[in-house]
Structure 1
Amino acid sequence: MTITLSREELLGTRRRKLAEPELLAPAGNLEKLKFAIRYGADAVYIGGQQYGLRSNADNFSFQQMREGVAYAKKHGAKVFVATNIFAHNEDLPGLKDYLSELDRIGIDAIIVADPAIIETAKLAAPNVELHLSTQQSTLNWQAVKFWKDEGVHRVVLGREASMQEIETIKDHVDIEIEVFIHGAMCSSYSGRCVLSNHFTDRDSNRGGCCQSCRWKYDLFISEEELMTASYSDRLVEEGENPFTMSAKDLCMIEHIPELIRSGVDSFKIEGRMKSIHYVATVVNAYRQAIDAYMRDPYNYELKQEWLDEIGKAANRPLNTGFFFDEPDHEDHIYTPEEKPQAYDFAGLVLEYDAESGYALIEQRNHFKPGQEVEFFGPDHTHFKQIVGEIFDEEGQPLDAARHPLQRIRMKVEQPVNRFDIMRKRI
């Protein structure tokens, strides 16, 4: 559909001077970093092996950071490192050396929540920007001004900020603002979960969240009876599904015009532990939407294909979080949800021979002749076909591509490019 702007919206756009936002993508490892940038990210955020909130991700060594920074700079992108734990005393030794190394590597910014890390970074990493983490739950312009006065270069607002609050902050404080526009939402306030600590002794604010809100729960008559209760003591009747405290995922692909007009400087996608397929698909959809609006904001058209692409990477039902109203019972998942049709990353295009029409593809998940697959890529590759004959690199026919990272050749019905993804419906 075409988006028509009201007079008030046009005036607001002019007042804030329409500027293209940064598209910031997650990168759980070096390969995901490259895919995020190839598929349209202006910047990526990664985790090191200390001081970050995703201890279970494939976090970066210093050498991998150097490779990532070199790749990003070659493609005009930036790299941020999450150092956003709330530190205990035992976390402080070695902090200065760690931050100094990030500075030497050429990291553009660190995402930080703890004042101790902020103050240490000012001395140890003077060339690295300070981006205040969403963990600080910053939601008003006076708090944003406080952090600006403390030397912070950018504030990542709490996920609880509304669109109106964002606009007020931008009107009052001249500082970069970053907001999450896509990905998982936390049932706790700005991710300050204590359930994970209580149930599993894994500290969610030191990188150990066990996602206890996603578990399935039963209700019993009383706490005293819990250990000896029989099935008949449950308040959930037999045959009914256990419930969760799981929030629906955030998706703002339908509201790119409002986000850009609000003055937000950086659009952040959640998901350092998500798959390459998720990163490439979601980043590419938002890249297209942002570019289309910036080319012609007065005749912007929301395309169904962008919504379809987001659906192919969705893990849960989607909503708009806190941007336009307060989430209620309809924004949580209490029973097993209806998931969108899932897709697998089946193969990565390495080479394409235009004369023969054959592509060299690196297998990522099992596929075989007769299956329908879909190709997509950052250069607008997008088509479906049935897999025909496949061959190994020596030209021997195969009945399936079943070995991890196996290289096969197959004929493709349209031209493809290096780094295009082949996916299949699960």
Structure 2
Amino acid sequence: MIKKPELLAPAGNLEKMKMAILYGADAVYLGGKAFGLRAFGGNFSREELKEAVTFAHERNRKVYVTVNIFPHNGDLTGLPDYLKYLAQINVDALLVADLGVFMMCRELIPEMELHISTQANNTNWATVNAWKKLGAKRVVLAREMSLAEVREIREKCDVDLEMFMHGAMCISYSGRCLLSNYFTGRDSNRGSCAQSCRWKYALVEETRPGQYFPIEEDERGTYIMNSKDMCLMPNIRDVIESGVDSLKIEGRMKSVHYAASVVKAYRLAIDAYFADPEHFTVKQEWLDELEKVSHRTYTTGFYYHQPTAEDQIYGKTSYDQTSEFVGLVRSYDAATGWAVVEQRNNMKLGQEIEVFQPTGPLYRQTITAMENEDGEAIEVAPHPQMILRMKMEQPVEPYTILRRDVTSVKQ
């Protein structure tokens, strides 16, 4: 019998972490202010780490903390104290990539569960079994693997396996990139990636400096290393039946809207499969939900074939999305039908919005009445994160996302 896999979500800050949990994640992975690979993702102070663990554990969810940089000598300063603190606040597991950091964890906090990051290039069953012998509880598989390879590792390894199923693809092998360091001095292997693979490039001949020639015949230039985003929702049956223990969403630097929408879509899909595996089919509404958040065109990555030109986006670096996050419900008064809303984007009377709830039904309504904090009627909410009251047609839960339709957005 197939074990129901964990749904693992990214959390770039405390708000995203709470949204991921409330919208259906079984566990979240996040980073502190140091020693992780997302230095610009917001990340968590020590106090926020403790609050995150408390919030998750109160809801029977788990928190994994990334300690997956490839450290130089100077990066090790303060690491022992940090590891002890993570154990003290009862973090559920640490993600590590470097062997020295792994052994330091084993020595200083021997009871801590350790997961081996994708950065360690885990592409075969021998490597996976080696990490298990060293004491790892889980191994995160590299994104450069096919379904057949994942299945073979599952057959030959008695250790928890985790794999990415949704999010950005990296041009470099398992994220081990040197471009960022070369161009900007920001070391992606120590958490400071500048995303150089998303830049527009041209060709320069060495005897003609300053003369830039297009690499393709297109006046827009070319983005030669700009990969499409991974999305395995259409193939979620294969993913579940591969036998991996945890299904991972990429995106600690993505938005609150992304965290909620992607998590809920996969939550519904996974639960539907286990409710009736024989008759399970992927619903169009789940696929539509994944189109609503900011993303690049989707691909299955390495899962079914070696990526080709069809898996790259050569003509642009912008994102697509069909919905825009305009407000977050803070509370709701059932007696009056008014909700307290925190504005996240300009909205006004007469606009149709979609009401996207953590557990309640999805519905649409027109904005018919709004008030500012002084109780005065307003026609538009233009100020970022202003608090207002909005008349709702149906009851809503706290942390409900209000959004409106758009065609596309460039970021």
TM-score over 0.5 for the pair = yes
1:2-26 deviation digits (Å, cap 9, x = unpaired): xxxxxxxxxxxxxxx2111000000
Residue in 2 that maps onto 1:63: 47
List runs of 5+ in structure 2 lacking aligned partners: 407-411
2:237 and 2:223 mapped to 1: Cα distance? 36
Residue in 2 that maps onto 1:334: 314
Q: How does 1:209-288 map to 2 (within 5 A)?
A: 209-220=193-204, 222-227=205-210, 229=211, 234=214, 236-237=216-217, 239-288=219-268
Counterpart secondary structure, 1:177: strand
1:362 and 1:56 mapped to 2: Cα distance? 24
Q: How does 1:14-413 map to 2 (within 5 A)?
A: 17-220=1-204, 222-227=205-210, 229=211, 234=214, 236-237=216-217, 239-336=219-316, 339-413=319-393
The 8 Å contact of residues 381 and 420 in structure 1, kept in 2 or not, is answered as no
After TM superposition, the score normalised by the length of structure 1 is 0.92
Deviates more, 1:331-340 or 1:20-29: 331-340
Let me know the Cα RMSD of the aligned residues: 1.6
Identity %: 50
Aligned-residue offset at 1:338: 7.9
List runs of 5+ in structure 1 lacking aligned partners: 1-16
2:8 and 2:131 mapped to 1: Cα distance? 21
1:209-265 deviation digits (Å, cap 9, x = unpaired): 100010011223x123133x2x6x555557343333110000011122111111110
Counterpart secondary structure, 1:395: coil
Aligned-residue offset at 1:362: 1.7
1:280-323 deviation digits (Å, cap 9, x = unpaired): 00000000000000111111121111000000014200011111
The 8 Å contact of residues 102 and 125 in structure 1, kept in 2 or not, is answered as no
Aligned-residue offset at 1:424: 2.1
Counterpart secondary structure, 1:51: coil
Counterpart secondary structure, 1:44: strand
The 8 Å contact of residues 353 and 359 in structure 1, kept in 2 or not, is answered as yes
Which residue type is aligned with residue 121 of structure 1? C
After TM superposition, the score normalised by the length of structure 2 is 0.95
Which residue type is aligned with residue 187 of structure 1? I
2:64 and 2:90 mapped to 1: Cα distance? 10
The 8 Å contact of residues 348 and 363 in structure 1, kept in 2 or not, is answered as yes
Pick closer, same or farther for the CA change 1:163–1:237 going to 2, 3 Å. closer
1:391 and 1:235 mapped to 2: Cα distance? 54
Which residue type is aligned with residue 374 of structure 1? E
Counterpart secondary structure, 1:333: coil
2:139 and 2:270 mapped to 1: Cα distance? 21
Which residue type is aligned with residue 301 of structure 1? T
Pick closer, same or farther for the CA change 1:92–1:338 going to 2, 3 Å. closer
Which residue type is aligned with residue 385 of structure 1? Q
The 8 Å contact of residues 214 and 221 in structure 2, kept in 1 or not, is answered as no
Aligned-residue offset at 1:394: 3.1
Aligned-residue offset at 1:353: 2.8
1:131-170 deviation digits (Å, cap 9, x = unpaired): 0000111111111111100111100011011111111111
